[in-house]
Amino acid sequence: MTNIPSVNLADFLSEDPKKKQRFVNEIGSAYEEIGFVALNHHFLDEKLVEELYTQVKAFFDLPEETKKKYEREDLGGQRGYISFGKEHAKGKKEGDLKEFWHFGQEPDEDANLKETYPENIKVEELPAFNEAGMKAYKMLEKTGIYVLRALALYIGLEEHYFDHWASNGNSILRPIHYPPIETEPKGAVRAGAHGDINLITLLMGASTGGLQVQRKDGEWIDAIPKEDELVINVGDMLERHTNNKLRSTIHRVTNPPKEDWDKPRYSIPFFLHPRSEMPLDCLEECIDEDHPKQYEDITAGEFLHQRLVEIGLIKE
């Protein structure tokens, strides 16, 4: 395998049961093998993506003191601006070479949530920034829920098993800016090798390459989606919930060749998190004699807190 498999969501949405089942089989087996797919025919239209990138670039071009106004240390990096070098991969000391922003859930009035999410932070200087961000947030959440429906069928669950947990969940949309590299980085990369915390991650095409995925044999391969495709990968919560049936694959963002150091990189992942009370206990459908239960029972909220401490966004 030299690139991640490509799948077509239109097959799953079609009224043809054979096409729907083909999508279920393709995405399920890809997630068992490599943990990543490139997905086309999703719900994000090109115009919205262009508008969001325009707004994101405008935000990161603001003066440092302006961006710092929107950094809220008390929220553990869950909303607003997170400045350069604050986050690091689990087990690494060097901060990643990036700054980023977090949009969070704005729940429906009838969501019946057991937790209160922090309010999103509004950028006064860019009135269209938050609007574009939240429009994209909703379309990515919708796409993610359909992917989870396919995975529920693949595992042997009822199709809508994940709907309640993922709708109005604690998901995060993260526009990232990797600035030009000015001096030789001492052990730091744009994003160190890591697995994602959440159920699944949906990534819009980045402005330049650099994303690499680790195969089972330890080799790194470039993830190169087509322009209109989303890269979607399994996170640690889903790996745990499926008792390692679906793989949360280690990935990284490498530094570019020296001749491209002067180019910034922008990337916008959507981390689909469930409601915090979702149990991540290993599913019975994924446990048998050959695959005994691998993990202790834990809720999504407890697991998230543990991991935010490990990556440096929450201090204990």
Condensed to tens digits (0 to 9), the pLDDT of residues 138-172 reads: 999 999 999 999 999 999 999 999 999 999 999 99
At residue 187 the predicted structure's pLDDT band, cuts being 50, 70 and 90, is low
Distance CA 105, CA 107 (A): 6
Q: Could you state, in order of their start, the residue ranges of all structural domains in the chain?
A: 6-310
How distant is the alpha carbon of residue 225 from its chain centre? 16
Most confident range, picked from 10-19, 84-93, 174-183: 10-19
Maximum C-alpha span of the chain: 59
Distance CA 209, CA 176 (A): 14
pLDDT above 80 (res 196): yes
* pLDDT confidence of residue 60: 96
Would you tell me how many other CB atoms lie within 10 Å of the CB of residue 283?
18
Q: What average pLDDT does the segment 22-31 reach?
A: 97
DSSP H or E run through 237? helix 236-241
Q: What average pLDDT does the segment 30-48 reach?
A: 93
What's the token pair of residue 110?
Answer: 């009838």
Would you tell me how many other CB atoms lie within 10 Å of the CB of residue 306?
13
What's the token pair of residue 200?
Answer: 């699944």
* pLDDT confidence of residue 49: 92
* pLDDT confidence of residue 43: 94
CB 45 within 8 A of CB 136: no
Beta-carbon contacts of residue 290 (< 8 Å; ≥ 6 apart): none
44-48, 242-246, 304-308: the lowest-pLDDT one: 304-308
Regarding predicted confidence, which is higher, 4 or 159? 159
Condensed to tens digits (0 to 9), the pLDDT of residues 107-122 reads: 999 988 988 999 999 9
Second CATH level (architecture) for the domain 6-310: Sandwich (2.60)
Distance CA 27, CA 150 (A): 8
How distant is the alpha carbon of residue 281 from its chain centre? 21
Amino acid in position 211: L
Distance CA 78, CA 69 (A): 15
Phi, psi of 167 (to 5 degrees): -70, 130
How many residues are given for the chain? 316
* pLDDT confidence of residue 207: 45
Per DSSP bridges, beta strands 6-8 and 36-40 are parallel
Specify the 3-state DSSP secondary structure of 45: coil
**Rg for the chain (alpha carbons), in Å?**
19
What 8-state DSSP symbol labels residue 71?
B
pLDDT above 90 (res 20): yes
Specify the 3-state DSSP secondary structure of 83: coil
The mean predicted confidence, pLDDT, of the chain is 88
Condensed to tens digits (0 to 9), the pLDDT of residues 213-255 reads: 888 888 888 888 888 889 999 999 999 999 999 999 898 877 6
* pLDDT confidence of residue 191: 58
Condensed to tens digits (0 to 9), the pLDDT of residues 283-302 reads: 999 999 999 999 999 999 99
